[in-house]
Chain A
Amino acid sequence: MKQIYLLLTLSLIIGIGALLSTRFIEPPLGEGDSAIHIFNWGEYIDPDLLDQFTEETGIRVVYETFDSNEAMLVKINQGGTSYDLAIPSEYMVEKMQERDMLIEIDHEQLPNLEHIGEQFLGLDFDPENKYSVPYFWGTVGVLFHPDKTDLDFTEWDMLWDESLRNEILLVDSAREVMGFSLNSMGESLNETDPDKLDAAFQKLVELAPNIRGVVGDEIMQMMINNESIAAVIWSGSARDVMWENEELDYVVPEGGSNLWFDTFVIPETANNIDGAHQFINFMLDPENAAQNADYVGYSTPNDAGLLLLDESEQEDTRFYPTDAQQETLEVYKNLGLENLGIYNELFLKFKMNLE
């Protein structure tokens, strides 16, 4: 019996000791300490910048991570947390705004906002950028293996090519999949005309023999392992995959695609609103934006920061499309529940049509 007592007491002592030891690794916040709580995607910021921010402003950064917009929404919505800054994607900004979960951003406190390219401001999901400031942006395109196919995917229609039998992966997301089908027909990916949506659905059904799977996050690992020739995927994920598997290439087909954003927002749970503004402004500084873009690898909306990146990077039209290409990109509009329902329903029908 002594063993058990010993085991339990020892475990308790080590446990409490480990908990206390964290105080020495990172001193806890005292009463007077100023700090901001940031809620971000995993591996989505250069950690050196956090230290630099603390050095410059004296504000400590408490950093937490999430892995999906929905998970973030639940954590913030439920309360019990006090995040001063979060980084959701644009559709989630809209949702949070509808639920009155966001605090207006004071543009006067953000002098560095001028560095953000005009084409990235005032978009549909937040017309006056009242609640959000763009952090990174990207597109939807085709990630493919150039050695295994002669197609270059400059047109969406090439996905329908017979040589790609059972070789295409799609992300499991209604708007993206319906969107590229609409784009391939020269329509807008915000189309609400039921006939056109139905035509897009019919076209997707024709694509069915080429589709290997409609998958979630696994799509990245599957592409890294060369399990498929092509995948319709977000540029950010494509970038991550191409770091692991250098044989792959990414292209945004002509005829339109989606323009997505991850943005800074200040949730209503914030305690340190000034600190949050300071942090946004700090990240908008061209040098910091460039350093961060270099670390994360996504496309920065910071025009001045972009000029500080390597030229090869700046001229990479796969991730920084030319102005002409950018014209064809569209942000998702909030189509309302009813239309979204149609999108989801058609997408579901399409998935059920697959083998």
Chain B
Amino acid sequence: MKLTGRLFLIIMLIVLYLPIFYLAYYSFNSAGTMNEFESFTFDYYLSVFQDSRLMVILMNTISVALISSVVATIVGICGALSLYFLKSSKIRASLLNINNIMIVSPDVIIGASFLILFTFLGISLGSVSVILAHIAFSIPIVVLMILPKLYEMNTSLLDAARDLGATPSLILSRVVLPQIKPGILAGFFMALTYSLDDFAVSFFVTGSGFSVLSVEIYAMARQGISLEINAISTMIFLIVLTIVLIYYFLSTRKTVKRGDLS
């Protein structure tokens, strides 16, 4: 049983990661196609860096991801807290359902409705519209990441803090937030990855020369995959890998320093 389990794990990891490594491998191929590996070259990476349009788009993508996930995390914390402290369980359940609908509804519909909303409000398409849309679809994910942590929290902690004379804001910053920290971290990084790989919503709300990588790659791929796409994808993969490592580092440090409640 142990052996088959391990075998299964190995096969799954191969299935998951082989395409990415295949793609990364050929991004160094001087032959220009993904058929045969000729010799090693950095040409495609150089041409990505020399293409100022692509660089701008790469920067746009990173900044949209970071800004939108920070804002979504903050709003999401507030949302999760207010859901948790709601008195009426009926309202809570229906609000939670509204939250979940955003997650399960198709991106195309969300994107199209944002396009209609923005043009209706007179917000011109560009950096602002993309960031707003990304914040909006990230918030439900953050809420969903944080809520379970709130329910795991021992409520007697709150009572104890109150007994000891802590003000509500002190309770929030010293007791509640540290308790749900893993949820906040998870929510932030989920929002980050959602934003990085979103295509459908971004397609509708980009405009005025402002574009993000997913939209650009999709348009480029129509003509068959050029190895520049491999190069960009490899870089994005490395960026995400770094983010995951940071997350890992942050979330495991907690177990080392048990007393860290401040």
Q: Is the CB of B63 within 8 A of A42?
A: no
Which of the listed residues B56, B62, B70 has the most CB atoms from chain A within 10 Å of its own CB? B70
Q: Is B96 part of the binding interface, using a Cβ–Cβ cutoff of 8 Å? A: no
Q: Are B223 and A43 in contact (CB under 8 A)?
A: yes
Please, how many angstroms separate the alpha-carbon atoms of A276 and B52 in the complex?
A: 23
Complex Cα distance, B129 from A65, in Å, reads: 18
Check A65 against B219 for contact (C-beta < 8 Å): yes
Is A78's CB under 8 angstroms from B115's CB? yes
Q: Which of A32-76 contact B (CB under 8 A)?
A: 37, 41-44, 47, 62-67, 71, 74-75
Most buried by A among B56, B59, B69, B220: B59
**Beta-carbon contacts of B194-214 to A below 8 Å, as 1s and 0s?**
000000000110111101000
Contact of A15 with B219 in the complex, beta carbons under 8 Å:
no
Q: Are A64 and B206 in contact (CB under 8 A)?
A: yes
Find residues 95-142 in chain B having any chain A CB closer than 8 Å to their own CB: 112, 115-116, 118-119, 123-125, 127, 129
List of A residues within 8 angstroms of B171 by Cβ: none
Q: Are B208 and A62 in contact (CB under 8 A)?
A: yes
A residues less than 8 Å from B188 (CB atoms) = 7-8, 11
**Contact call B220/A11, Cβ cutoff below 8 A:** no
Hey, what's the 0/1 contact readout for B209-250 against A, CB within 8 Å counting as 1? 101000110111111101000000000000000000000001
**Which residues of B have CB within 8 Å of A241?**
224
CB under 8 Å from chain B, chain A span 120-154: none
Closest CB pairs A-B (n = 10):
A42-B219, A15-B66, A65-B219, A62-B209, A18-B63, A15-B67, A19-B63, A80-B119, A43-B223, A15-B63
Q: Can you list 14 A-B pairs, Cβ within 8 angstroms, ordered by A?
A: A4-B185, A7-B188, A16-B63, A18-B63, A19-B67, A22-B56, A26-B53, A37-B209, A42-B221, A43-B226, A64-B209, A80-B129, A81-B207, A217-B222
List the interface of chain B (C-beta within 8 A of A): 33, 35, 51-53, 55-56, 59-60, 62-67, 69-70, 73-74, 112, 115-116, 118-119, 123-125, 127, 129, 173, 177-178, 181, 184-185, 188, 203-204, 206-209, 211, 215-216, 218-224, 226, 250, 253, 262
